[in-house]
Structure 1
Amino acid sequence: MSVRTSNRAARLAVPTAAAVVLLLAGCAGADGGGGRSAEDSPLGEYLSAVWGGDDKSTEELQAESDDQNRVREEFIADCMAEEGFEYIPSLDNGGVVYSSDDEEDPWDPESEEWVSQWGYGTVDWPGRDEQPDEGEMEEWVDPNQDYVESLSPSEQEAYYEALNGPQPSEEDIAAMEEGTYEYDWTTSGCYGAADNEAMGEDPYQSEEHAPLMEAMDALWAESAEHPDLAELDAAWADCMADGGEPGFAKQPDAQNSIMEEQNAVWEGAEPAEGEEWVEPDFTELGEREIELALVDLDCREKTDYRDRQLDVQFALEEQFIEDHKAELDAFIASYENRR
């Protein structure tokens, strides 16, 4: 199953339990050997009801998305009317489109054949050339555009502040860049109020469950610094050095080095004032990525890295569930009650 979001959907998006999914996945995103993968995470399975969806048809998921959009858009119209503005609800598209996807997942970074072609999937990846150009993508048309253009500049400014909330402050922008910004629906205008009305308070952000979220953060930190992983990373690093790739202390450092080099190239491609922007050439970096990823893959196989990593992760998660069962059950109930 695949999910497509429009620009409009991204504008309406708020933090959800999907953040928990990313935490659960950790760095063990691929098959760890023995047929296991991060998808078999004990904590992930325990909290599956939070994000759910796997047991629903694409039609059911689409109907839920469309219904949430209808509630949201109608609320926005009422909210904007109270602020003295007109707003035409857009009920033809919820911004999220679900479609069935029967093809096998093309992401297989534990396969030598895959790695030989894509490396880590950083510079190039499966399906990259199949992505539509901006001109080919269906663009959402705002039904309120004509009305907004009929307003004076000052009225337009007031309209968008009522719709989205005030412009972000310098502190907000800095927090966004650092990844520490916390969304607050109460300061996000009619859109924020509508999201809260359509979805209710997100338990993931509530004060009630803050101690559980902090405990989860501690779990990930404990997992990353576990003595067994330190020993495993040391064995992996020795293997990398023997393979001609010294200088990496932990397994994720290898892929991160490619990302850092790519970011540096992008930053260096920023044109000077008056110059035309030229897309950078990543050919050499792509070749370097594959070369490094193949050595990394060989060392992961020699050290049984993924399977041993999952041993640590799963053991810690099982103990976490035992220690925090009451809090986890309350967290799950909060999500079920808001549906």
Structure 2
Amino acid sequence: MGGALLLAGCGGGPSTDPEAEGEVGPLGEYFAQMYPEQSEEDMAAQMREVEELTAACMQEQGFDYTPMDTSQAFGDMTVEEDVDYESEEYVATHGYGMTTWEEEAAPAEEEVWVDPNEDYVAGMSESEQNAFYEALYGPMDVVEETDPEAEMAEYDWTTAGCSGEAQHEVEGDAVDPFSDPAFSSLQEEMDRMYTSVQDDPAVASLDGDWSACMAEAGYDFATPDAAWEDISTRSDELYAATSETSPEPDPVAWEELQQLEIDTALADHRCKDEVDYDETYQEVSLRVEQEFVDAHRAELDAMVEAAGQEP
């Protein structure tokens, strides 16, 4: 799915997606249907069921298979709900978050995941191991290293062994419509639609007002994206100057860039407030999205059906 869900004109900078402001747009409603939210408990239960079905299938193939504990796959997914990432106080401390992040301290004792089938497989002969993994995952594709154009075959659950069979039984025939070639042209139009938001006269006028405000603050940027990209480029340049013997950027230059990032982001934030940037951008985005949905409703409904959901 990736970039299809992002505003193509953002250039990787702070999101101007209307959904980021708390309002689900017309396309967001379709995405919510394609990818309904699941709780950690539901996902864990689903993965446990897949593992149990895999074990039953492997038993039929003549192998002992211990279901894996997949709970570690989720880790700590808690979010700091009390942090207002859009507030001036946050920006004044973190800027855009490019150079101001801090590494988290490593846990005192990192838990190492162990495959419960490791000892069982280790006691097999090489031919038995090959048979075990073929039963579990299906025949392995062999790609000739001398052929740079060679590609792995597209995933097919019917040839993916017990794991593929179990996953299909739990998840059904649903596919990710954003990886389906049948919808590639629609995705291209969707990308153009997002780009068109940047080209809208209302946004062009908005950028002009924002740029004038930034000029008064001492900055020469045409758009908010340009301000974000300037810091990103400077960061890349500092890292490009590193070496194996000096893998970290020059600390003095890095500290100066951190301050520049905070100052720039703070001016950006204040100018956006002054010209009502986010509100106006959101209005344009929602209007353009609605026009796109009205023109492509049948295709979007087909995407929802392809994802195994009811449109």
> Which TM-score applies when normalising by structure 1?
0.67
Q: How far 1:314 sits from its partner (Å)?
A: 0.7
CA distance in 2, matches of 1:270, 1:154: 46
User: Where does residue 26 of structure 2 map in the other structure?
Assistant: 42
TM-score by length of 2: 0.72
State how 1:67-216 maps to structure 2 within 5 Å: 67-73=45-51, 88-91=66-69, 93=71, 95-96=73-74, 104-109=81-86, 111-125=87-101, 128=102, 131-133=104-106, 136-147=109-120, 184-186=154-156, 193=164, 197=168, 198-199=170-171, 200-216=174-190
How far off is 1:307 after superposition?
Answer: 1.2
> What percent of counterpart residues are identical?
30
Deviations 1:293-312 (A, max 9, x none): 11111221222211111111
Q: Distance in 1 between matches of 2:250 and 2:64?
A: 45
Go from structure 1 to structure 2 and tell me whether the alpha carbon gap of 1:236 and 1:192 turns closer, same or farther (over 3 Å shift).
Answer: farther
Secondary structure of the 1:66 match is helix
**Greater C-alpha Rg:** 2
- Return the offset for 1:72: 4.1
- Cα-to-partner distance string for 1:133-152 (whole Å, 9 max, x where unaligned): 16544332222443565678
Could you tell which deviates more after superposition, 321-330 or 113-122? 321-330
Aligned residues: 299
Contact 1:163–1:190 (8 Å) recurs in 2: yes
Contact 1:28 1:309 in 2 (8 A): no
Q: CA RMSD in A?
A: 4.6
Is the CA contact 1:18–1:51 (under 8 Å) kept in the aligned structure 2?
no
What's the counterpart of residue 265 of structure 1? 238
Q: Would you say 1:224 and 2:198 are equivalent positions? A: yes
Could you say which structure has the greater relative contact order, defined with CA pairs below 8 angstroms and 6 or more residues apart? 2
Which residue is 2:277 aligned to? 305
Q: Is the 8 A contact 1:108 1:114 kept in 2?
A: yes
Relative to structure 1, the CA distance from residue 245 to residue 156 in structure 2 (aligned partners, 3 Å threshold; closer, same or farther) is: farther
Match of 1:250 among 210, 214, 223: 223
Q: How far has the Cα of 1:119 moved from its partner? A: 0.8
- C-alpha distance in structure 2 between counterparts of 1:300 and 1:42, whole Å: 24
Tell me the secondary structure at the aligned position of residue 185 of structure 1: coil
Q: CA 1:85 to 1:185, structure 2 compared with 1: closer, same or farther past 3 Å?
A: farther
